[in-house]
A and B are shown apart, each in its own frame.
Chain A
Amino acid sequence: MGNVIGIGAAPKRKEDQRFLTGRGNYVSDIKRPGMAAGVFVRSPHGHAVLRGIDKSAALASPGVIAVLTGDDVADDGLGSLPCGWGITDAKGVPMKEPPFPMLAQDKVRFVGDMVAFVIAETPEQANAAADLLKVDYEVLPSVVGVLEAVRPDAPQLFDDVPNNICCNWELGDKAAVETAFKKAAHVAKLSLVNNRLIGNPMEPRAAIAEYEPGTDRYTLWTTSQFPHVVRFLMGALVLNIPQHKLRVVAPDVGGGFGVKQFHYGEEAVITWAAKRVRRPVKWVASRSEGYVSDRHGRDHVTEAELALDETGKFLAFRVNTLANMGGYLSTFGPNIPTNLYGPLLGGVYTTPAIYCNVKVVFTNTVPVDAYRGAGRPEATFVLERIVDVAASEMGIDRVEIRRRNMIPKEAYPYQTPVLVQYDSGDPMGCLDGALVAADVKKFGVRKAASASKGKFRGLGYSTYVEACGLAPSRFAGRLGARGGLYESATVRVHPTGQVTVMIGTHNHGQGHETTFAQIVSDKLGVAFENVDIVFGDTDRVQFGMGTYGSRSLVVGGAALSKATDKVIVKGKKIAAHLLEASEADIQFEAGKFSVAGTDRIKTFEEIAGAAYVPHNYPLEVLEPGLEEQAYYDPVNFTYPGGCHIAEVEVDPETGTVTLVNYTAVDDVGTVINPMIVEGQLHGGIVQGVGQALFENAVYDEGSGQLLSGSLMDYCMPRADHLPMMNVATHSTLCTHTPMGVKGCGEVGTIGSPAAVINAVVDALSHLGVTHVDMPATPNRIWRLLQNASLPVAAE
């Protein structure tokens, strides 16, 4: 008999045994009998007319089974890849939504756009045949940057999308903002770029599809964060496969970070192809292939203005952004730089008037969609940077200006001028905690020590809030979501009292098998080891929207909590019958049902046994069995936040920025497993540090070639880039989730870029530097120092 391990404990993870011993089960590990290999032929051009494809040489190549192209897709009358969000401009005019064919039809619009799928007996044969495919392209000029794409003479991606503008989106009271700016004592202005990123989960994407003629059923194994959504989008909207004939399995998935939360064309093509060739087909992306096909993230160009009164109080905030969508609309694409960006521009401050305009722009680049944080890091970066700019220009201390504008703890719930209402929070508490933890008082001593070595030291703050736990369906629906965003859980109690949970979220590193088991163990008094969590298979799990937007614990955990409560309710009815007492008198505590005020008890196992062997059981009023299901749709987002403090050292000789200290105090609500939360914070912070210091997806204007197309060119954070981070939580409870949880998956990535860049600017402020774009690479800093007005020497 094992132990109950409850909420707040830190058991070691259930999932670790298989991963540590090399027994994980990732898609690329799976082999099916008779399996063939597929490779995609992708456009080498950023923009071209597809004049024709000659398959003959490829088809004659040894081992080739089939070569499929856009014409075959058209012949079979299949749909194009759907976009899950339909946003509108201020007048209600819908966004431009050109079709996204699963294999290119008339044109290719980015390097990596898929033009054919070659199936052969082996991957080597498929690759050899792919090289023999003759594709006739009429190459057109590419446009890759948003500023270039909206110019009148820019190459046009689609005939019916003038100036490549998908949508001209607005939020907030423009007139109120203009009025406030007229009264301002000071206006801070900032132009910035939010650099384009590639998510880089360590497992490249992969898929296997199989068709069984005997049952007319399809199975797709895919590296996905949301298998049920893939089943719905692909089955109902692309391939016309009835939902009950399609099984989608996402087994162990090696990291997601958003990259795997979209329905990709590869999934649709391989599923369709498996039926055409009557063979299981497997495709595994190489890393380089992932670079030109995994959806990218961020990529904004922004002009921001902050109006302040003479005391440094924020009066109004105005933000104009151009957001890159790439060549087509991906699953969540247009939602990210709009609904997940504008509503966060209030931050933790009482700014009364905010206006945001986002022009969502098509370019000849990989489609852009959610990447960890998705919209919220971009909003935080604009706001936390301009707060520093304003403080510097007005001669107010950076911490002081934040304090003067912060929403006090007692002002929650707090309605912002940009749609969202924060339910709870204590930004001042997080700030105070972080100031102590980062030992800010002694920063001057450390700065002097750096100076004595010829280095410039800087300190940067980011006090931020985000909206997560995606999402209240009704609210999302008003903003343009075409689906719901609830979550579901089934709690199946076996006759012997062990529990299997089927949940619609997906575990790909977050430790759900552990955290969710703790919730059940805590609530039912069942041993932790007697609870297993099942996810990632549409044949085993009833339904679900998957894992993204820090929603798994917030929304999925709430569904699980509700389903567990239903088990207790039914257990009490059974116990009342067995104990010959009134249901109202039955108490449930620590795994035991008892009659209040007596020593008459039934254990959880006895009740489970009675439910499945109903000899003495109220069959007239109660069904046998002990299994309950719940769906949960949140009433609001949750609003985690906190204060991050970064400390950097800049070497003026080389321009190298070294992160030397990092402190985070975050409010993530109730912590179920502190070990896992800490791990999520570490990983999130480093992804933000990666954006700030290292990572950049660079395209060549004109040709549309991705210049940072491999791990040799795209700089990922490595172990020797980083110091030991100091992370802690300062929690206020969410007022509307069952357990008070807020989510912790994205906070690190949202808070950290601004903290790091604010530290870099602080380190260089004595040279007149007021802004540094990301990533702050040695090259960029060195050039900045060469152009600085003061001599490059430590003070």
Chain B
Amino acid sequence: MQISFTLNGRPTSVDVEPATLVAELLREQLHLTGTHIGCDTSQCGACVVHLNGLPVKSCTLLAPALDGATLLTIEGLTGDPGSNQMHPMQEAFRQHHGLQCGFCTPGMLMTAVALATEKPDLTEADVRHGLEGNICRCTGYQNIVISVMAGAAAMHAAKGE
């Protein structure tokens, strides 16, 4: 079936099998491999993207649900997929060593941006609770939590300017 949606700010139209998962569509048909698949039970969160501004696990969403929707993936986070520019949350992860192997990182970032957007003054407990659906095996989460708090502060500082 043919579906049309806005992907990372651009109108997109694709022909998909109805049983295709959004994560598969992104990775296999649209060659956006920044969205990762780390499990088969919607537990790990490596595939988190924003659907109409809200974080969702794209491994649990069927492609037809995208029709008419707005989708944001890690590739579109800065608004300019071609550049080396960083979103304040990405920069915070770099500054605070919030990643090691990088596999969970895109999902962590998408969840983190959504958390920071939803609540301007995130506490450590908010961040830890908010990341409950994203598993990282490398970092022990400490630097991720620090990164998210710093990234959230930077996002709101940038907005305030």
CA A575 – CA B72 in complex, angstroms?
A: 56
B124 touching A22 by the CB < 8 A rule? no
A255 touching B34 by the CB < 8 A rule? no
Contact among B38, B95, B131, B140 with A204 in the assembled complex (CB-CB below 8 Å): B38
A683 touching B140 by the CB < 8 A rule? yes
Chain B residues in 8 Å Cβ range of A722:
128, 140-142
B100 touching A683 by the CB < 8 A rule? yes
B73 touching A682 by the CB < 8 A rule? no
- Shortest CB-to-CB span from A252 to chain B, Å, is 7
Check: A15 CB closer than 8 A to any chain B CB.
yes
Check: A158 CB closer than 8 A to any chain B CB.
no
Chain A residues in 8 Å Cβ range of B139:
679, 682-683, 686
- Shortest CB-to-CB span from B128 to chain A, Å, is 4
A287 touching B44 by the CB < 8 A rule? yes
Check: B116 CB closer than 8 A to any chain A CB.
no
Binds A, one of B50-58, B61-69, B103-111: B103-111
What mask results when residues 1 to 37 of chain A are scored 1 for a CB within 8 Å of chain B, else 0? 0000000000011011111111110101100000000
- Shortest CB-to-CB span from A718 to chain B, Å, is 5
B97 touching A287 by the CB < 8 A rule? no
A16-B94, A202-B101, A254-B102 as given contacts; A719 in contact with B35, CB under 8 Å: no
Check: B22 CB closer than 8 A to any chain A CB.
no
Check: B137 CB closer than 8 A to any chain A CB.
yes
CA A676 – CA B94 in complex, angstroms?
A: 12
Check: A787 CB closer than 8 A to any chain B CB.
no
Chain B residues in 8 Å Cβ range of A17:
84, 94
- Shortest CB-to-CB span from B75 to chain A, Å, is 5
B75 touching A718 by the CB < 8 A rule? no
Interface residues of B in 24-57 (CB under 8 A from A): 27, 32-41, 43-44, 46
- Shortest CB-to-CB span from A532 to chain B, Å, is 16
Chain A residues in 8 Å Cβ range of B35:
22
- Shortest CB-to-CB span from A257 to chain B, Å, is 7
Check: A702 CB closer than 8 A to any chain B CB.
no
Contact among B27, B33, B97, B145 with A679 in the assembled complex (CB-CB below 8 Å): B97
B38 touching A22 by the CB < 8 A rule? no
- Shortest CB-to-CB span from A223 to chain B, Å, is 10
Check: B152 CB closer than 8 A to any chain A CB.
no
Chain B residues in 8 Å Cβ range of A682:
139-143
CA A257 – CA B102 in complex, angstroms?
A: 14
Chain B residues in 8 Å Cβ range of A16:
93-94, 99, 102
CA A340 – CA B142 in complex, angstroms?
A: 29
Chain B residues in 8 Å Cβ range of A678:
97, 143
CA A678 – CA B141 in complex, angstroms?
A: 12
B44 touching A725 by the CB < 8 A rule? no
Contact among B78, B103, B142 with A202 in the assembled complex (CB-CB below 8 Å): B103
Check: A621 CB closer than 8 A to any chain B CB.
no
Interface residues of A in 186-231 (CB under 8 A from B): 200-204
Task: State the interface size on chain A (CB cutoff 8 A).
Answer: 54
CA A742 – CA B76 in complex, angstroms?
A: 41
Q: Looking across the interface, which residue of chain A has its beta carbon closest to that of B141?
A: A719
Chain B residues in 8 Å Cβ range of A287:
38-41, 44
Interface residues of A in 699-735 (CB under 8 A from B): 710-712, 716-720, 722, 724-725
Chain A residues in 8 Å Cβ range of B143:
678-679, 682
Chain B residues in 8 Å Cβ range of A24:
34, 102-103
Q: Looking across the interface, which residue of chain B has its beta carbon closest to that of A710?
A: B41
B105 touching A720 by the CB < 8 A rule? no
- Shortest CB-to-CB span from B116 to chain A, Å, is 15
A711 touching B73 by the CB < 8 A rule? no
A255-B137, A679-B139, A718-B135 as given contacts; A510 in contact with B33, CB under 8 Å: no
B90 touching A720 by the CB < 8 A rule? no
A253-B101, A509-B102, A719-B128 as given contacts; A20 in contact with B109, CB under 8 Å: yes
A20 touching B94 by the CB < 8 A rule? yes
Chain B residues in 8 Å Cβ range of A23:
34
Check: B71 CB closer than 8 A to any chain A CB.
no
Chain B residues in 8 Å Cβ range of A684:
140
Chain B residues in 8 Å Cβ range of A26:
33, 36, 103
B103 touching A716 by the CB < 8 A rule? no
Contact among B27, B36, B94, B144 with A203 in the assembled complex (CB-CB below 8 Å): B36
A712 touching B41 by the CB < 8 A rule? yes
A257-B137, A722-B142 as given contacts; A21 in contact with B101, CB under 8 Å: no
CA A725 – CA B101 in complex, angstroms?
A: 20
Chain B residues in 8 Å Cβ range of A683:
100, 137-140
Check: B136 CB closer than 8 A to any chain A CB.
yes
Chain A residues in 8 Å Cβ range of B37:
28, 204
Contact among A12, A13, A202, A508 with B44 in the assembled complex (CB-CB below 8 Å): A202
Chain B residues in 8 Å Cβ range of A687:
137, 140
A20 touching B90 by the CB < 8 A rule? yes
- Shortest CB-to-CB span from A675 to chain B, Å, is 5
A509 touching B100 by the CB < 8 A rule? yes
- Shortest CB-to-CB span from A542 to chain B, Å, is 25
Chain A residues in 8 Å Cβ range of B43:
710-712
Contact among A202, A252, A286, A686 with B141 in the assembled complex (CB-CB below 8 Å): A686
CA A22 – CA B125 in complex, angstroms?
A: 27
Chain A residues in 8 Å Cβ range of B90:
20-21
- Shortest CB-to-CB span from B27 to chain A, Å, is 8
Chain A residues in 8 Å Cβ range of B140:
682-687, 717, 722, 725, 748
A28-B37, A287-B40, A718-B135 as given contacts; A254 in contact with B103, CB under 8 Å: yes
Q: Looking across the interface, which residue of chain A has its beta carbon closest to that of B38?
A: A202
CA A676 – CA B109 in complex, angstroms?
A: 20
Q: Looking across the interface, which residue of chain A has its beta carbon closest to that of B107?
A: A202
Check: A511 CB closer than 8 A to any chain B CB.
yes
Check: B129 CB closer than 8 A to any chain A CB.
yes
A13 touching B137 by the CB < 8 A rule? no
Check: B161 CB closer than 8 A to any chain A CB.
no
- Shortest CB-to-CB span from B147 to chain A, Å, is 10
Interface residues of A in 251-287 (CB under 8 A from B): 252-255, 257, 286-287
Q: Looking across the interface, which residue of chain A has its beta carbon closest to that of B89?
A: A20
CA A200 – CA B129 in complex, angstroms?
A: 21
Q: Looking across the interface, which residue of chain A has its beta carbon closest to that of B96?
A: A675
Chain A residues in 8 Å Cβ range of B132:
718-720
Check: A415 CB closer than 8 A to any chain B CB.
no
CA A685 – CA B139 in complex, angstroms?
A: 9
Chain A residues in 8 Å Cβ range of B95:
12
A288-B40, A711-B135, A724-B124 as given contacts; A22 in contact with B33, CB under 8 Å: yes
Chain A residues in 8 Å Cβ range of B74:
21-22
- Shortest CB-to-CB span from B7 to chain A, Å, is 13
B144 touching A719 by the CB < 8 A rule? yes
CA A246 – CA B36 in complex, angstroms?
A: 29
- Shortest CB-to-CB span from A307 to chain B, Å, is 37
Chain B residues in 8 Å Cβ range of A712:
41, 43
Q: Looking across the interface, which residue of chain A has its beta carbon closest to that of B32?
A: A22
Contact among A21, A253, A724 with B142 in the assembled complex (CB-CB below 8 Å): A724
B94 touching A13 by the CB < 8 A rule? yes
12 contacts between A and B (CB under 8 A): A22-B106, A23-B34, A28-B33, A202-B101, A255-B103, A287-B41, A508-B101, A678-B143, A679-B143, A682-B139, A711-B135, A748-B140
Contact surface of B with A, Cβ cutoff 8 Å:
27, 32-41, 43-44, 46, 73-75, 77-78, 84, 86, 90, 93-95, 97, 99-106, 109, 124-125, 127-129, 131-132, 134-145
The 4 closest A-B pairs by CB, nearest first: A22-B34, A19-B102, A254-B103, A509-B101
In addition to A12-B97, A20-B99, A200-B137, 7 A-B residue pairs with Cβ atoms within 8 Å of each other are A28-B33, A28-B37, A202-B137, A257-B137, A287-B38, A684-B140, A717-B140
